Chains A and B, each alone.
Chain A
Amino acid sequence: MSQQQISLENLNVIGPDYYAKNGYPHAEWTYLREHDPVHWCEYPNTDPFWAITKHADIVQIAKQPKLFSIAKRLLIFVPDTPSEPDPVPPFRHLLNMDPPEHGDYRGIVSARFTPRAVRSLEPQIEAITRKVFDGVTGKSRLDFVTDISSKVPLAVIAELLGVPQKDWDQLFRWTNETIGGSDPEFQDGTNSDETFDRARIGLFNYFNNLVEEKTKNPGNDLTSVVAAARINGAPMPQFEMLSYFLLLVVAGNETTRNATTGGLRALIENPEQWERLKKDRSLLKPAIEEIVRWTTPVIQFARTANEDTEIRDKKIAAGETVCLFYPSANRDEEVFENPFTFDVGRNPNPHVAFGIGEHFCLGANLARLELEVIFRELIERMEYAELAGPVERLRSSFVGGIKHMPITTKINPARN
């Protein structure tokens, strides 16, 4: 949609079909940032909300978790048919908890995700990544998603959780169905609710058994840590514990996969940036930040005002929802110079792709390290890549997913 055709009355920034067909509505977000950065939206099948599109506003909202609750409405979900919201949420984990409870639950694993802690995982992630690339060495045509970008994060989170390799495929199906329930390719059942529910119950049952095993024979894995955790002196309730695993599995898979896929796509479409990175490996870290900004795999989370408040010139009433559109913030002209230019040397790069504040992505440092290892390997071994067919997008207005990206390529054997 070109800028001229957009008007405040007709723009759509939340319909899953739009995302499947066109990708991110950047023209619409750009229009909103300029004309109505805090915009009231009404769409069929979902409660109305304010679309927040400016970087500064997202930061201000995210750093006030007491004024803006995440527990009341986690994100804007648009089902295909009108449905009554379930009075009991299907899970209770870090994402839909407010302080102080959120801090208590987050503290259980947060020490495992600091830059210092994840650095120790580098050899393990390198071994995983090398194996994935070895598996496709010499193949001239592949689906970058199913052959590479989905494999590394799945193996990393599965190893961290202590899930045996024979179960990885099952784990992968559950994460796809949890996030891709609205997409026909992943639908297992009649609709997205049913698909999500089946995946959730399958995953809950699986981890219930694994927890039992790890309680008897604890290891150094995350499952053992969560299984042994106590909240205010008491064991973690079962529902919250199983929800914890749902979060770790899904968050560990969907985001890094799509940043990787979108990152290669950006390099293919900006060959001079690929060359630059090849010639100067010191650009790897800023390149990863730029890939994360450029792709911003998580499209939105919501907050609900606990009391009447104001954002810019708009009065937000208690009980109203604001939707934080992270990809829009990451193209904000007031924060980023040439925001629509993919620049592997961009510095500073204060993107909010991992969120900010209370709910800042717990796995951000792990994701950064995974991306660093993957792209280091890719720069080293992938001689070239070209798109060899249509890029198929996920039908979702929550995660900007790429389901398939066929490429022609040449991947060399590892040097040593």
Chain B
Amino acid sequence: MKVVVDLKLCEGNQRCMEAAPEVFDVRDDDKAHLLMQNPPESLREKVKLAVRMCPRQAITIEG
């Protein structure tokens, strides 16, 4: 599973970090940074929740 964040859309709302802290980290630049590009399958549900909760719909899962 590959995760992509559209940084033009991201406004640092931190919902992804709440849903999947293993994968997302919102830093002082108010942007979501990926802690891993290809999270393991075991995190799929959490990443899916992050996708759903992102107010700007800036996250996509590829594969």
Interface residues, chain A, with chain B CB atoms under 8 Å away: 59, 62-63, 103, 110-111, 113-117, 348, 350, 354, 356-358, 360, 364-365
Contact = CB atoms under 8 A, between A and B. Distances in A.
B29 to A, nearest CB: 10
24 contacts: A59-B57, A62-B57, A63-B57, A110-B11, A111-B30, A114-B13, A114-B30, A115-B12, A115-B13, A115-B14, A116-B12, A117-B30, A348-B53, A350-B52, A350-B53, A356-B56, A357-B55, A357-B57, A358-B56, A360-B11, A360-B55, A364-B13, A364-B55, A365-B13
A34 to B, nearest CB: 23
Interface of B: 8-9, 11-14, 28, 30, 49, 52-53, 55-57
Nearest to B54: A356
Contacts of A115: 12-14
Contacts of B12: 114-116
**Majority SS of interface residues in chain A?**
helix
A116 B56 CA distance: 17
B57 to A, nearest CB: 4
Query: Nearest 6 CB-CB pairs, A to B?
Result: A63-B57, A360-B55, A357-B57, A114-B30, A114-B12, A360-B56
A133 B53 CA distance: 34
Nearest to B56: A360
Contacts of A116: 12, 28, 30
A115 B57 CA distance: 17
A356 B13 contact: no
Given A115-B13, A365-B13, 4 more contacts: A113-B11, A114-B12, A116-B30, A357-B57
Nearest to A117: B30
Contact of A114 (B8, B9, B11, B52): B11
A315 B53 CA distance: 28
A314 B60 CA distance: 27
Nearest to A111: B30
A357 B28 contact: no
Given A114-B11, A114-B12, A354 B55 contact: yes
A110 B13 CA distance: 11
A348 B48 CA distance: 14
A109 to B, nearest CB: 11
A356 B55 contact: yes
A360 B58 CA distance: 11
Interface core residue of A59, A110, A114, A354 (most chain B CB under 10 Å)? A114
Contacts of A114: 11-13, 30
Contacts of B30: 111, 114, 116-117
Contacts of A358: 9, 56-57
Contacts of B49: 348
A117 B29 CA distance: 11
A348 B62 CA distance: 25
A357 B56 contact: yes
A348 B19 CA distance: 10
Nearest to B18: A348
Nearest to B31: A114
A383 B29 CA distance: 42
Nearest to B12: A114
Contacts of B13: 114-115, 364-365
Contacts of B55: 354, 356-357, 360, 364
A330 to B, nearest CB: 14
Contacts of B52: 350
Nearest to A100: B8
A62 B58 CA distance: 12
Contacts of B56: 356-358, 360
Contacts of A62: 57
A218 to B, nearest CB: 23
